[in-house]
Amino acid sequence: VSVFLVGAGPGDPDLLTLRGARVLSSADVVVVDRLVDPRMLELARADARIVDVGKYPGAGSAAEDQAAINELLIAESRAGSLVVRLKGGDPNVFGRGAEEVAALTDAGEQVVVIPGITSAIGVPGLAGIPVTARGESSVLTVVSGHRVDDDDALPYNALAALDGTLVLLMAVEHRARIAQRLIEAGMDPRTPVGAIERGATSDERRVATTLAELGMVDLRAPAVIVVGAVAAHMGALGQRGGPSSRLEAIAALV
Ligand code: SAH
């Protein structure tokens, strides 16, 4: 076993699993993504090699970048290094984890997946939004809003009919179109929406809005957008640093 595909969680290094921290502290090579908090690398050995393969828009095609990452992981593993491939959130939630596992196993290398807290569930949770709640929502759907250029990209009618919690990742850019299509498909324009930018980091920002207003509010990536009745809970914990930050100060102690 020489490659560990580790979920880093949504931001704060404290949200890495104990198993993830253990392998990270033994790694010879750590291959990281853009969404991984640099503070997490303090857990690595001082002499570990850190390779940043963060993908920036326009830095080459996604497929080329991914092939290069796969080759790097295979080469390092063959060279006998203990490799940790650290990915934001959970490696298998819109993280191309499966592609890296397939590339490694096809090349005859062994790989172990260590799950992480996905931003889809953990970021709303930290902001006070339960993604399911008895009597409010018993369905949880997580979708990517990344390739929503054409109108058939998401099954809007099905999503609107579920009447549960809809979590949108990578959806900041196309949020206006997604909201409009969901309303056209029958979703109530007054449906609560909670958006959390840079969740679980020191500059987290929360925006409470509605489906009708989602396209108009100021929002920057990376953000998790929660659509559904449960989003109304976001106010309960208050803004970070705001009047109810005492609760967060208490949470920081535990
Ligand atoms: N594997 C990751 C998701 C990768 S897709 C996971 O399980 O969390 C990248 C998207 O995840 C971003 O566009 C954003 O929608 C969301 N995301 C990841 N980290 C986030 C964070 N700290 N705060 C808000 N959104 C985040």
Q: Are 104 and 111 contacting, i.e. CB atoms less than 8 angstroms apart?
A: yes
Nearest CA to ligand 1 atom 6: 89
- Centre of ligand 1 to C-alpha 80, Å, is 31
Instruction: Give the DSSP letter of residue 137.
Output: B
Nearest CA to ligand 1 atom 13: 170
CA distance 44 to 21: 8
CA distance 132 to 158: 18
Catalytic residues: 33, 55, 170
Q: Give the Å distances, CA to CA, from 185 to 59, 70, 114, 149.
A: 36, 40, 38, 17
- Residue type present at position 34: R
Helices 62-78 and 97-106 cross at an angle (nearest 10°) of 50
Give the per-residue pLDDT at 249: 62
Give the per-residue pLDDT at 50: 95
Cα 56–chain centre separation: 16
Cα 19–chain centre separation: 19
Give the per-residue pLDDT at 241: 42
Is any atom of ligand 1 closer than 6 Å to the C-beta of 118? yes
pLDDT in tens, the chain (254 residues): 689 999 999 999 999 999 999 999 999 999 998 778 888 999 999 999 999 998 654 556 777 788 999 999 999 999 999 999 999 999 999 999 999 999 999 999 999 999 999 999 999 999 999 999 999 999 999 999 998 777 778 999 999 999 999 999 999 999 999 999 999 999 999 999 999 999 999 899 999 999 999 999 999 999 999 999 999 999 655 455 444 455 566 666 66
- Centre of ligand 1 to C-alpha 88, Å, is 7
Spell out the SS3 assignment of 173-186. CCHHHHHHHHHHCC
Give the per-residue pLDDT at 244: 44
Give the per-residue pLDDT at 55: 60
End-to-end Cα spacing for the chain: 35
Is any atom of ligand 1 closer than 6 Å to the C-beta of 221? yes
Is any atom of ligand 1 closer than 6 Å to the C-beta of 122? no
Q: Are 185 and 157 contacting, i.e. CB atoms less than 8 angstroms apart?
A: yes
Q: What is the largest CA-CA distance in the chain?
A: 56
Give the per-residue pLDDT at 80: 95
Ligand 1, atom nearest to 92 Cα: 1
Q: Are 93 and 118 contacting, i.e. CB atoms less than 8 angstroms apart?
A: yes
Q: Are 114 and 6 contacting, i.e. CB atoms less than 8 angstroms apart?
A: yes
Give the per-residue pLDDT at 250: 61
Give the per-residue pLDDT at 243: 41
Q: Quick one: the chain helix, strand, coil %, rounded to 5?
A: 35, 20, 45
